[in-house]
Amino acid sequence: MTVSLVAMWRANPHRRSYCRSLLLSLLIVLLLSACSNSRIGQQTNGEQEGQPLTAETTGRFSEYVLPQSRSGLMRPAVDSQGRVWFSEMSRNYLSMFDPRSGAVQQMTPPGSAGGLMGVAVASDDTIWFAEESGNFIGHYNPQTRQFKNYSLPELTVPDPQNARKQLTLPLAPNELTFDAHGNLWFTELNADAVGLLNIKTGKIRQYPLASPPSVQKLNPYGLTLDRQGNIWVALSSSSQLVRLDPISGKIHRYPLPDQESYLMQVTTDRQGNIWASGFNKPLLLKFEPASERFTTYKVTSSANEGASGTIYDVVALANGDVWVTAPSENALARLDAKTRTFSFYRIPTAGAFPFGLTVTTDESLLWFTESVSDKFGSYRLA
């Protein structure tokens, strides 16, 4: 895998810069495979529908085996009917699993170039997704089965390997979320910026996170909104948490307690606290905006005390508990709201590499993806 990536990096400057962003922002085992294989032009027949999946149940866990290997599962999202939507980067699929029928539907979005990442469900149950290498925000209507792409501008920057040349790069949209007005916000890995798509008009606005604007220095990854409508952004190559005021456009940077730590995903709880997962260390950070105070929690069990690595996704529940995916533990981990200690819930499949995480609206189920085992699963909370 590494040899293939290096060869592609040297041979094509466009792919070289794109793959550099992936290396900074994604977990290496999965995405070396995704970057070196999916971008070669792997295509599908367009839509594969109604394939029943094998279900494996152990205690509160249920796991579902995808029909193909090397799927490259990213983050899941759940619609109002309880259907689970997720992207399969290595297969170039936007996929939907219906727990009622036990079947999966897999689609290759038009224009997709092997960079399917974040997925979000709108209030009307239509699906929005980010395509990094295709450089667009995609929209899918499950009722009409129609796709629509919103193309993003490209970057033109000097080639760091040759001062006489210019590189043309995609903005590389990564994660996305909706605000109270139904507008779609997304991070741009290559552009060190946050984008805003007005889904009614189709207009796109850029908010640089650095002044002057920079390229591939911050690598903004996850984002979330608080109740005041502020945008909070996790940076995967700078030791900061960022707040963007969407009205004034002002950027506020909060240095992390550990200047050798970087962030991956971010969410907010009902009290307005910001929670972020560690990209290069197994840490969970809590930030209290009113006091500008950070609290750091190490996400390792006593049996794995000296482990290095990362955690990926983070979800805050109404009862104050915070759940994360912990790949080095092969587990979901829960930070108890009262004791502030972690409990670990091991994935039944060994070496599953739990990755994306989401919770149903009624908070009865956690859904998660397994990036190495080509499965996704649920954990029953109630």
- According to the model, what pLDDT value does residue 303 have? 65
User: How buried is 264 (Cβ within 10 angstroms: 0-12 exposed, 13-18 middle, 19+ buried)?
Assistant: buried
- According to the model, what pLDDT value does residue 265 have? 97
Interval 71-84: pLDDT, tens:
999 999 999 999 99
- According to the model, what pLDDT value does residue 68 have? 92
Interval 349-371: pLDDT, tens:
999 999 999 999 999 999 999 99
Q: What is the mean pLDDT of the chain?
A: 87
pTM of the model: 0.88
| pLDDT classification of 49: cutoffs 50, 70, 90 | low
Which region holds residue 372: left if phi is over 0, alpha if psi is between -120 and 50, else beta? alpha
CA end-to-end distance (rounded Å), the chain:
41
Rounded mean pLDDT, 37-61: 66
CB 186 within 8 A of CB 231: no
Six-digit token string for 283: 């840490």
Rounded mean pLDDT, 321-333: 95
H or E segment to which residue 103 belongs:
strand 103-107
Interval 122-175: pLDDT, tens:
999 999 999 999 999 999 999 999 999 999 999 998 887 888 899 899 999 999
- The radius of gyration computed from the CA coordinates of the chain, to the nearest angstrom, equals 19
**What does the alpha-carbon distance between residue 149 and residue 137 come to, in Å, rounded to a whole number?**
6
Q: Give the neighbor-by-neighbor strand order of the sheet with 263-268.
A: 263-268, 274-278, 283-288, 293-298
**Residues above pLDDT 70, as percent of the chain:** 85
| pLDDT classification of 30: cutoffs 50, 70, 90 | very low
